[in-house]
Amino acid sequence: MLDFVSIPEDRKAVLIGANGETKKKIEKLTKTKILVRENIEIEGEALDVLKTKEIVKAIGRGFSPEISLQLTKEDNVLFITKISGSEKTSKRLLSRVIGSHGKAKKNIEFLTGTHVSIYGKTISVIGKYEDAVKAKDAIDSILSGSRHGYVYKNLESKKSKSSMLS
């Protein structure tokens, strides 16, 4: 199977890595062949290509290759939320998710055990499916105007409920 994915020009160097090391590592772990051109070409078995496409998308959305490679684990997923609206509106929304000195983003990551990346007009989450859903819901809640404290309290109660069940 052959598939294509597009990533920002400035993230292609991250995908390739020093002396092509990152690209080689991804190819080896996913048993695929990656060609970096205008679009990224990925060739291999269908499931391997789909997994590699997610890894490449994650790198394109600002995650480090190390975090992106967590997507090779079956229970990890990538969610991408696009922010629309005017430049002023999108800046305000992204700032709410980042928080003062990155505090909101760090709190969401800590309370859900996920990784969050804000790049361009997108907010992306990598983590185990259930945790990533919690992080995405928290982000959506902040984007829709909920107070940060309310969102954190909600995440903490979900965290304590899930720890009681285990």
Contacts (Cβ under 8 Å, ≥6 apart) of 14:
22, 59, 64, 65
Q: Is the pLDDT assigned to residue 50 strictly greater than 60?
A: yes
In DSSP terms, which residues pair with 42 in a beta bridge?
A: 3, 34
Q: Are residues 123 and 161 in the same domain?
A: yes
> Residue 150 is which amino acid?
Y
Q: Are residues 45 and 104 in the same domain?
A: no
Domain boundary among 49, 72, 95: 72
Count, residues in the chain: 166
Q: Is the pLDDT assigned to residue 165 strictly greater than 70?
A: no
- Cα distance between residue 121 and residue 130, in whole Å: 24
Contacts (Cβ under 8 Å, ≥6 apart) of 6:
39, 40, 60
Q: Is the pLDDT assigned to residue 166 strictly greater than 70?
A: no
Per-residue pLDDT, 105 = 98
Summarised one tens digit per residue, pLDDT across range 76-112 is 999 999 999 899 999 999 999 999 999 999 999 999 9
How many domains is the chain partitioned into structurally?
2
Average pLDDT over residues 7-14: 96
| DSSP secondary structure string for all residues of 88-106 | HHHHHHHHHHH-GGGHHHH
**The domain containing residue 54 runs over which residues?**
2-72
On whether the CB atoms of residues 112 and 157 are closer than 8 A, the answer is no
Summarised one tens digit per residue, pLDDT across range 133-162 is 999 999 999 999 999 999 999 998 876 666
Q: Which CATH number belongs to the domain containing residue 152 in this structure?
A: 3.30.1370.10
pLDDT averaged over every residue in the chain: 94
> Residue 59 is which amino acid?
I
Task: Give pTM, 2 decimals.
Answer: 0.92
Look at residues 142, 81, 80, 71 and name the one whose alpha carbon lies nearest to residue 108: 142
Q: Is the pLDDT assigned to residue 122 strictly greater than 70?
A: yes
- Cα distance between residue 41 and residue 38, in whole Å: 9
Write the Ramachandran bin of 146: left for phi over 0, alpha for psi from -120 to 50, otherwise beta. Answer: beta
